[in-house]
């Protein structure tokens, strides 16, 4: 936190610590009065005169300083009896980065095992139930983490200031609040998707905590937007270089699978996707459009994915890197990469798809890789009806590529080494020995990837960066990276790049994106 003498220099981007310590009240109040979106999700304000808690971007008149209480997480505010604001909607605030980071990265300490445990628990609790999947309870969470209930509660409360149960309940309630406000989903489905065991239990908890019936909240907002699909909103912290993100996806877009629209008042992209949840398979499409003025993504989800809406919302947040904290990243990288403040790390909606595309992109140009992916999609991808012209196929499933013959892949121009790699990745995903999603065990996943034929350090690091959402991935052997760093053609370019990257930890994934962006 900046010293008290620097608190009046808000444009210099004072830092609000996240989770490891309570936000400094004076800096928070300055950000609140400025309605500074850079702090959205970094803290929340409870107003004692109204009993309401808000985001720092709330458009209502700033309350008196003496009436403000500041919290690092909505669960802390709700534990103190505050209710979420119906205007700024705390459920829309950007979340925390997916991985624990060092204090230099303004997050958790990677050396502190208790911090790691608490963060892992919070990340698992943040993962919404999907379809028929049951919500993760505290006892099951403790077993999954290999600790006792008592130890988990003690560590969790020490680092987050609330119990795991309170954290989980707040997450469920805010999920329900967003679904009630943004969608027309029936009440029983809202309760199920939010993780409640029954509508009766949902109604009781909602009314007890928010002093409002769920049906009254829906009436208050006048009903959700009618028409095609389900409309929801997702916020992000500025700066966000929307044009750069869309250029990245535009260069790699494959006909039938995705499309990018970089013009118009709300530029964005369309994508087909497959979601596996509770032993069931769901397929559909999403449309994501950026509202730069509101620092929001307007998300449209196909009706075929209504049973997994919270899971899709979370996947989109990772896909577009909406939870990044640019202030913390810029503090470390801006000295070397002066023009990349708004750059984010492009993710994926499907870790398996990203892994296959990474294999096909080994040692060839982006254009050549796109050609191979397009052939693979046309040959093995399932057809899908969508309302968007040219968006009509799903990426091949792991089962279909695991069963694909070498001859069938060879006819598409895929060389033998990559045939083996694709088959090995597909079989590992089908068997469940490989998980390619944010929150997967990093060391275990990296080791599993490196053990597969045809996957080296570059491919593994690239997958970690985009599919696992690891902020400190670094493909040191990347030729384009060498060129950007002025190391092209050197005998030990990879070692030199790796040595230089130590100064950019724990944000090396962002350093890679910034380096690539410097290339002509």
Catalytic residues: 54, 478
Question: What is the Cα gyration radius of the chain?
Answer: 23
Which strands form 296-301's sheet, in the order they lie side by side? 230-235, 296-301, 280-291, 268-277, 258-261
Instruction: Return the SS3 of 468.
Output: coil
Cis bond upstream, residue 506 (ω within 30): yes
Q: Judge whether 38 and 327 are in contact, CB under 8 Å.
A: yes
Return the half-sphere exposure (C-beta side, CA atoms, 13 A cut-off) of residue 483. 8
The pair of structure tokens assigned to 142 is 């403790």
3-state secondary structure 120-157: HHHHHHHCCCCCCCCCCCHHHHHHHHCCCHHHHHHHHH
- Between helices 164-182 and 138-145, what is the axis angle to 10°? 120
| Residue 471 and residue 509 in contact, taking contact as beta carbons nearer than 8 Å | yes
DSSP 274: E
Q: Which two tokens stand for residue 467?
A: 């599919």
**Are residues 369 and 489 in contact, defined by beta-carbon separation less than 8 angstroms?**
no
In the three-class reduction of DSSP (H, G, I as helix; E, B as strand; rest coil), residue 349 is classed as coil
What's the N-to-C CA distance of the chain in angstroms? 37
Task: Decide: 487 and 496 in contact? Cβ < 8 Å.
Answer: yes
Q: Which residues contact residue 440 at a Cβ distance below 8 angstroms, ignoring those fewer than 6 apart?
A: 468
One-character DSSP codes across 223-267: -PPPSSSEEEEEE-PSP--HHHHHHHHHHH--TBTEEEE--SSS-
Q: How far apart are CA 349 and CA 87, in angstroms?
A: 30
| Residue (of 335, 325, 352) closest to 100 by Cα position | 325
Asked if residues 271 and 300 have their Cβ atoms less than 8 Å apart, the reply is no
Which of helix, strand or coil describes residue 27?
helix
Q: Are 316 and 301 in contact (CB under 8 A)?
A: no
């Amino acid at each position: 936190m900046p010293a008290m003498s620097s608190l009046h220099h808000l444009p210099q981007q004072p830092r609000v610590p996240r989770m490891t310590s309570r936000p400094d009240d004076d800096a928070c109040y300055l950000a609140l009065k400025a309605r500074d979106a850079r702090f959205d999700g970094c803290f929340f304000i409870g107003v004692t005169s109204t009993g309401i808690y808000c985001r720092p971007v709330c458009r209502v008149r700033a309350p008196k300083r003496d009436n403000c209480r500041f919290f690092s997480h909505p669960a802390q505010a709700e534990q103190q009896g505050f209710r979420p604001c119906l205007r700024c909607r705390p459920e829309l605030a950007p979340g925390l980065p997916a991985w624990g980071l060092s204090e230099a990265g303004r997050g958790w300490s990677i050396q502190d095992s208790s911090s790691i445990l608490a963060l892992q628990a919070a990340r698992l609790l943040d993962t919404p139930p999907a379809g028929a999947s049951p919500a993760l309870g505290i006892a099951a969470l403790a077993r999954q983490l290999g600790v006792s209930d008592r130890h988990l509660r003690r560590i969790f409360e020490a680092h987050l200031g609330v119990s795991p149960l309170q954290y989980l309940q707040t997450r469920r309630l805010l999920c329900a609040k967003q679904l009630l406000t943004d969608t027309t989903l029936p009440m029983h489905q809202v309760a199920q998707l939010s993780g409640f065991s029954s509508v009766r239990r949902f109604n009781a908890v909602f009314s007890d905590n928010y002093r409002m019936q769920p049906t009254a909240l829906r009436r208050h907002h006048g009903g959700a937007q009618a028409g095609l699909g389900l409309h929801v909103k997702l916020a992000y912290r500025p700066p966000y270089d929307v044009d750069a993100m869309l250029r990245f996806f535009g260069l790699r877009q494959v006909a039938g699978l995705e499309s990018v629209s970089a013009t118009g008042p709300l530029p964005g992209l369309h994508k087909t996707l497959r979601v596996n949840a509770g032993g069931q398979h769901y397929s559909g499409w999403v449309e994501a459009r950026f509202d730069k003025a509101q620092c929001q993504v307007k998300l449209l989800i196909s009706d075929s994915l209504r049973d997994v809406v919270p899971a899709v919302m979370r996947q989109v947040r990772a896909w577009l890197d909406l939870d990044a904290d640019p202030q913390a990243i810029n503090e470390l990288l801006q000295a070397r990469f002066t023009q990349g403040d708004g750059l984010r790390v492009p993710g994926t909606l499907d870790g398996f798809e990203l892994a296959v595309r990474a294999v096909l992109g080994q040692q060839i140009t982006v254009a050549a890789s796109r050609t191979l992916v397009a052939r693979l999609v046309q040959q093995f991808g399932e057809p899908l009806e969508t309302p968007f012209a040219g968006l009509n196929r799903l990426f091949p499933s792991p089962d279909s590529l695991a069963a694909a013959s070498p001859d069938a892949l060879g006819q598409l121009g895929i060389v033998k080494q990559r045939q083996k790699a694709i088959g090995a990745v597909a079989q590992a995903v089908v068997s469940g020995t490989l998980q390619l999603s944010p929150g997967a065990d990093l060391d275990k996943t990296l080791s599993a990837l490196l053990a597969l034929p045809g996957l080296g350090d570059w491919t593994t690091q690239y997958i970690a960066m985009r599919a696992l959402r690891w902020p400190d991935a670094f493909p040191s052997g990347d030729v384009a990276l060498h060129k950007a760093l002025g190391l092209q053609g050197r005998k030990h370019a990879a070692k030199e790049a790796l040595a230089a990257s130590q100064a950019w930890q724990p944000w090396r994934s962002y350093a890679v994106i910034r380096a690539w962006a410097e290339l002509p």
